[in-house]
Chain A
Amino acid sequence: MTHAVEVITHRGLDVDALSTTQLRRIYSMRQSVWPSGEAIVVYVLPSEHQVHKAFSREVLKIFPYQLDRIWNKLVFSGVGKKPIVVDSPEALLEAVKTTPGAIGYTPMLNSQESISVVKINQ
């Protein structure tokens, strides 16, 4: 199944596919390291951004307000961190390209040579 939003990771990661459940674990900030032991660096767009809303609903199958609540609860109770928020899809793409261990999403996938696209298994 193809999505309007594609999940991308840093080129150095050996991650070809993730399930919806695994992506949800990553974006709810429960899973914090890749199987290789490298730390996962999670990037998102602002909650009000249409691309973030599409990613949340279509890929994670969770409403954006639920993600906001999960992140705020983690941060203000001491048990976790929020993802790193960047302002634009361009900035998110650049951040994932240049940050080891990074994961993000993009609506404008061209033939990017220095980024990995992750297949999403249902």
Chain B
Amino acid sequence: MLLKLINKHKFTVAAVGVLLSSMSYADEQSFVWHGYISQGVVQSENSNFINDDGDLSFELTELGINGSYQISPSLRATSQVTYINGGNRLSDGARLDYLLLDWAAVNTFDWQVNLYLGRTKSYNLLHSSTRDVPMVRPSIILPQSVYFDAFRDTGIGGDGAVLAASYSSSKYGEFDFTLGSGPTQLTTKQTKTLLGELAEGDLDHRKDLQLALYWRPIDSNWQYGIALLDAAFQYKASEFDRVYQSGRFIIERANINAMYQGEHWEFVTELNYSRLIINDFIAPGFFRDSVGQGFYSQVRYHLTDKTRLLARYERFYSNRDDKNGSLASAATGGRVPSYFGFHNDVTAGISYDVADNLRLQLEHHWVKGGARLAPALTPNVELNDSEYWRVWAAQLTYWF
């Protein structure tokens, strides 16, 4: 898989190599670069979460390389290029992940205010900025109740600006605030992952406003956060569209989270409310306004410095007023089974640091429901004819 990838993108790989070698003469403190390379094996039984046939798959490749140049004490330029392949669950390919200017407008012991301009990440949720970075996230597959892979391309970041302020008080602790706007440029492939193969038109991310506040009380192992999103998308049907009309989508999301980090135990929980308004698209005059609701709770135990165990429980409902999906199923005349209205997942995993900067992760998911299978808006009922399905994955990651 990796050799195939390198061969396919050999010119990009060569260009990056030339760039890095030319920069190797730069001041050690001014220019730094890092990266990661990861390959895994994954299998999903009784669903098309990874592939259509349920066979063992190597579609679990993740690469990233970044560089950062300190122009002056208050100005920095940085960029990262990534490649990801995750089977059906997300749109594969290379991506300019971020390319930004970081201006440290205020930089005192109590206050830091930074402005990031260019292509930025989404810094809204606990894992939104590093969801593609295997050694930073807690599991190979993130909890889909909050980090739905089919929505990844709309929530990973975009072209715009982010204002980040951080305040430290010796009495109240640390506060982090971010306000950002960066609509994503969606490709045809990404549009189809989101809306389905029959969507032939263009999806335009018109509006993206994100706000988050995190608080770590003084001398506490806890962190608390709240994150809000207001986004709008316009679908423009093409002449080849036979099923869908032009239409508009509005997503409003509220997320609250809490995290505990102790010496041996870690606990994280996130609760998500997501309002989805669909105007037209399905048919002229179509209107749906629904609130999806989901949460996960996760525990990690540090067996040793190198070994960590993970257990997670999550639930998600596409419509909190139709938790068993029966109303949605009835609306399709029973064509879409009711279990597409929810997604429950129990996950167990282990990670082991084989060496410095080399990590092996293993995990298994027991899933009930089809609400988090791509494409999101038009479920594939033929390939997902079972309410219960499983996924297991193993992944080896090296980073520097």
Contacts and interface: CB of A to CB of B under 8 A. Distances in A.
A33 B104 contact: yes
B32 A81 contact: yes
Nearest to A37: B73
Contacts of A35: 108-109
B29 A76 contact: no
A38 B116 contact: no
Contacts of B34: 75-76, 82
B29 A63 contact: no
Nearest to B399: A72
Nearest to B29: A41
Contacts of A3: none
Contacts of B356: 46-48
Contacts of A22: 109, 168
Interface stretch (A4-12, A24-32, A110-118): A24-32
B107 A33 contact: yes
A98 interface: no
Nearest to A48: B356
A78 B130 contact: no
B263 A38 contact: no
Given A81-B32, A82-B34, A72 B136 contact: yes
B109 A76 contact: no
Contacts, number: 98
B305 interface: yes
B234 interface: no
B107 A76 contact: no
A73 B80 CA distance: 13
A76 to B, nearest CB: 4
B263 A32 contact: no
A82 B400 CA distance: 11
A75 B135 CA distance: 12
B70 interface: yes
Contacts of A33: 73-74, 104, 107
B397 to A, nearest CB: 11
Nearest to B302: A65
A94 to B, nearest CB: 14
Interface string A66-95: 100100110111110110100000000000
Contacts of A61: 219
Contacts of A25: 109, 112, 168
Interface in B198-222: 218-219
A63 B123 contact: no
Contact of B100 (A39, A69, A72, A78): A78
Given A21-B168, A31-B107, A38-B73, A76 B80 contact: yes
Contacts of A81: 32, 68, 70, 76
A46 B100 CA distance: 29
A51 to B, nearest CB: 15
Given A25-B168, A77-B121, A78-B80, A32 B107 contact: yes
Given A72-B136, A73-B136, A19 B170 contact: yes
Contacts of A72: 130, 133, 135-136, 399
B32 A78 contact: no
A86 B400 CA distance: 14
Contacts of B261: 63, 66
B68 A73 contact: no
B68 to A, nearest CB: 6
Given A25-B168, A32-B73, A39-B70, A76 B64 contact: yes
Nearest to B178: A79
Interface string B25-51: 000110010101000000000000000
Contact of B136 (A39, A41, A69): A69
A76 B136 contact: yes
Interface in B64-94: 64, 66, 68, 70, 73-74, 76, 78-80
Contact of A84 (B29, B129, B136): B29
7 contacts: A25-B112, A32-B112, A63-B261, A69-B136, A76-B64, A79-B123, A84-B28
Interface of B: 28-29, 32, 34, 36, 64, 66, 68, 70, 73-74, 76, 78-80, 97-98, 100, 102, 104, 107-109, 112, 114, 116, 120-121, 123, 129-130, 133, 135-136, 164, 166, 168, 170, 218-219, 261-263, 302, 305, 356, 399
Given A19-B170, A31-B109, A78-B121, 14 more contacts: A22-B168, A32-B73, A32-B107, A73-B129, A73-B130, A76-B66, A76-B80, A77-B129, A78-B97, A79-B116, A79-B123, A79-B164, A81-B70, A99-B29
